[in-house]
Amino acid sequence: MTSPLDRKKAPATARQDPGELRWWITAGLATTYLVAWWAFAPAQVSDAPAPTGLATEADVTAPPVAAAAPRSTPPGATNVVLWWHELPLALRPKLELPAGWQVATPDRRAAPTIGAQRAWRPTAAYRTVAQERRRRPRVRTRSS
């Protein structure tokens, strides 16, 4: 007969260690995931249109107007960025612009996205420059 003390000192060879069991399960799942990814992922990539740097950049930086455009784009179309002025009036999203802002004009198309620019206002500096071109009164008569 063995005492309880002796059983404690005996190596656990008959039972599986729980930590070791968790390691094997994790390794199995990881192997399954890798095999599945290897089997299916290449097929999806090959079906996608060839990515371009411009499209990727547009996806990242496109404003709400451009992001809304693909919804009305027919399947298979490659035009993922639309200019505001090229949209039919009925399809143009309604924009709530802050006071003093306006939609960029078509001649500003050099920019990669449709944007809004602040409406021009004459600044204090502009007025000062404009006034200095004419004769500047130095004396101001008033009651004192």
CA distances from 27 to 18, 22, 36, 37, 108 (A): 14, 9, 14, 15, 57
- Give the number of other Cβ atoms within 10 Å of residue 84's Cβ: 19
Q: Does 94 bind other proteins (CB under 8 A)?
A: no
What is the distance, to the nearest Å, from the Cα of residue 43 to the centroid of all Cα atoms in its chain? 26
Judged by beta carbon, residue 2 or residue 141, the one nearer other proteins is: 141
Q: Which residues in the 117-136 window bind other proteins by CB under 8 A? A: 134-136
| Nearest distance in Å: CB 141, other proteins | 4
Q: Which of the 8 DSSP states describes residue 14?
A: S
Yes or no: say if 83 and 106 are a contact pair by the CB < 8 Å rule: yes
| Nearest distance in Å: CB 136, other proteins | 7
Judged by beta carbon, residue 8 or residue 140, the one nearer other proteins is: 140
| Nearest distance in Å: CB 110, other proteins | 39
Binding site for other proteins (CB under 8 A): 134-144
